[in-house]
Copies of this chain bind each other. A is one copy, B any other.
């Protein structure tokens, strides 16, 4: 497989960095081709604005998505798009900040997944351009797992990651079960076990099944599912137990 790792953490000594390095090492070892976008190291521009275009269709009124569609994109955006086109699997490695992805990573979505390239109506969801590609998100949390249950204080991670994962479904990507590392800062023993679990998963990553998502045809006029209910993201089983 061709694997693109999008990595968003400011500290090279962090556990996120270790997870990214381990992914590089293991996946290379398994014979996959790897590219890494280290957003902090690249000083990735997070903010979407008129400077993202080599020329503007309308100088007087910036309609960002309209300009995206014209395709006069700056080189940093084009480079990322080429990597996405190349990849079979994209792994996003990042810490959970404010119940979401770091701003620098949101800026990757806002700027790279351009209108006319990542989607163009009605070619969205299972008609989207990236139906052959897979996405895996891998994240660390500050708080412990028990706070993140459906009825727990911080809410369920399937709710927390609904917007992020939905963005990928929107463009057609297939989504793998997310990988969560609960409060790895707690102690070294935990981090060792986490790395072990991560290695085991990565070695089999090309054989994993994706989380099924509703197809366009399953909707009535796109306003409601013909099926009784949508379970957008299956609640991941306790990964430790599952991996045993």
Quick check: A153 and B103 within 8 Å, CB to CB? no
Cβ of A224 under 8 Å from chain B: yes
Q: Is the CB of B104 within 8 A of A153?
A: no
Residue in B closest to A66 when the chains form the complex, CB atoms: B185
Chain B residue at smallest Cβ distance from A43: B47
A164 to B159 Cα, complex, angstroms:
11
In the complex, which of the residues B98, B103, B113, B223 contacts A163, with contact meaning CB atoms closer than 8 Å?
Answer: B98
A46 & B46 in contact (Cβ 8 Å cutoff): yes
5 new A-B contacts, CB < 8 A, other than A46-B47, A149-B224, are A48-B97, A100-B163, A101-B106, A149-B223, A151-B229
Q: Which residues of A contact B (CB under 8 A)?
A: 10-11, 13-14, 40, 44, 46-50, 60-65, 97-104, 106-107, 109-110, 113, 125, 142, 146-147, 149, 151-155, 159-160, 162-164, 166-167, 170, 216, 219, 221-225, 229-230, 232
Contacts of A62 in B (CB 8 A): 10-11, 14
- Copies of this chain in its oligomeric complex: 2
Contact of A153 among B152, B219, B229 (CB under 8 A): B219
**What are 22 of the A-B contact pairs (CB < 8 Å)?**
A11-B61, A40-B47, A40-B49, A46-B46, A46-B47, A97-B109, A98-B110, A99-B162, A99-B170, A100-B100, A100-B106, A103-B104, A103-B106, A103-B109, A103-B110, A125-B153, A153-B216, A153-B222, A159-B159, A159-B232, A160-B163, A163-B163
CB proximity of A34 to chain B, nearest CB, Å: 24
Query: In the complex, which of the residues B97, B154, B166, B223 contacts A166, with contact meaning CB atoms closer than 8 Å?
Result: B154
CA distance A159 to B158 in the complex (A): 10
Q: Which 7 A-B pairs have the closest CB atoms?
A: A103-B107, A99-B163, A151-B224, A103-B106, A46-B46, A11-B62, A46-B103
Chain B nearest CB, measured from A120 CB (Å) = 13
Contact of A106 with B113 in the complex, beta carbons under 8 Å: no
**Contacting pair A166 B99 (CB below 8 A):** yes
Query: Which residues of the partner chain B approach A225 to less than 8 Å between Cβ atoms?
Result: 151
A118 vs chain B, min Cβ distance (A): 10
* Choice from B106, B153, B159, B230 contacting A151 with Cβ under 8 Å: B230
State how many angstroms separate the Cβ of A217 from the closest Cβ of chain B: 11
